Amino acid sequence: MSILIYLIFAALTVASGFLISFFWATKDGQFDDTYTPAVRILFDDEKPVENHKEI
């Protein structure tokens, strides 16, 4: 059962990694603008074939 101790410490270490990346993300300003990135990600990098929608 003492394996549990290792398990818990391993889990904590992994979780701490995520906590640190959360710190990093916040300091980097990722939560300053929570709207634009959600729009941005939907755009294609390259322009698709022409033929725009007809009016």
- Report how far residue 34's alpha carbon sits from residue 22's, in angstroms, rounded to the nearest whole number: 15
Encoded tokens for 37: 């990135």
Reported as type and span, the H/E element at residue 7 is: helix 3-27
The site map against another protein for 2-21 (x = CB under 8 A) is x-xx--x---x--x---x--
- Report how far residue 23's alpha carbon sits from residue 29's, in angstroms, rounded to the nearest whole number: 10
* Interactions with another protein, residue window 21-50 (CB under 8 A): 22-23, 26-27, 29, 31-36, 39-40, 42-44, 47-48, 50
Binding site for another protein (CB under 8 A): 1-2, 4-5, 8, 12, 15, 19, 22-23, 26-27, 29, 31-36, 39-40, 42-44, 47-48, 50, 52-55
